[in-house]
Amino acid sequence: MKTMFLIFLMLLVPTLSFAQQGARPGEDRDSWTFLIAGGPFIFPEFEGATNYRVLPIPFFRASKGNYFIQTEGPGLTANLFNHRKLKFGPSVQYRGERDQDINNSIIQLFETINSTVEAGGFISYRFSLENPGEAITARIKTMIDLGDAHNGYNVSASLSYGRIIGLKTRVNVSLGSTYADQNYNNTYFGVSQTDATLSGFNIYQANSGIKDIGGTINIAHPLSNGWGITGLVGYKKLLSPAANSPIIQNAGTDNQFLGSVALSYRF
């Protein structure tokens, strides 16, 4: 599958803010509720790219009380712990290949990075604040390669602040960072002897380390009869060892942006 957006979407730590909402007043917490959403999403072609793509991105969430299962990019995450503040559970996701299906003539010369499936899990804790609906949430998610693409792992951590404005509109601000091991970083940011010969770049061996830091702001507003609208903007800064890669220095950028507007329906 030649869709590079999957590589980038797997790196998003926060989900859309409507996914963070709890039960509505009068809603039966012993019954399943569902939320579907979709809309255009703008993002870099690959991690470090200067070119952007716009594609429709779907979202789905099923919840019952404190339990839930939801999409996160091209994957699924579930909470298996019946607690109002503490949540943890498994996660599985698909990471697409990096091949010639990009608008970068230099990176097209690089050897293909195969697609893979990653598995792991998350844990989060919600600290309630003084105002209704106001809280700080800390979250860590670890994913390990189950295939043969990078044979490594990455750990994403985020801290988000959310509150309700005007009794309806939910605002969520999130700061996050990702640590990746040497196998992961060298796969996506390293330059092998073959790649160096084809591209003219210097050979580069990427080490393990914190590869990015960034944040998102998303705003969710309910409309009527279960409908709602959500907007998201985000920024990510690639750090060493990613930012020092010849791929980023000569054919990309360490500044990464994203944005989305989604229409949702809850039932």
pLDDT of residue 131: 86
Asked if 73 contacts 30 with a C-beta cutoff of 8 angstroms, the reply is: no
The Cβ of residue 102 has, within 10 Å, a number of other Cβ atoms equal to: 19
- Let me know if 79 is exposed, middle or buried by CB neighbors in 10 A (0-12, 13-18, 19+): buried
**Average pLDDT per 10 consecutive residues for the chain, totaling 267 residues:** 42 46 55 94 91 89 95 92 95 89 90 94 95 93 96 97 91 97 97 96 97 96 95 96 96 96 95
Cα separations in angstroms, 228 against 59, 129, 171: 13, 25, 14
- Let me know if 127 is exposed, middle or buried by CB neighbors in 10 A (0-12, 13-18, 19+): exposed
pLDDT of residue 74: 83
pLDDT of residue 24: 52
Architecture of domain 5-266: Beta Barrel (2.40)
Q: Domain coordinates of the chain in residue numbers? A: 5-266
Asked if 113 contacts 187 with a C-beta cutoff of 8 angstroms, the reply is: yes
Q: What pTM was computed for the model? A: 0.88
Which residues, in sequence order, are bridge partners of residue 207? Answer: none
pLDDT of residue 19: 45
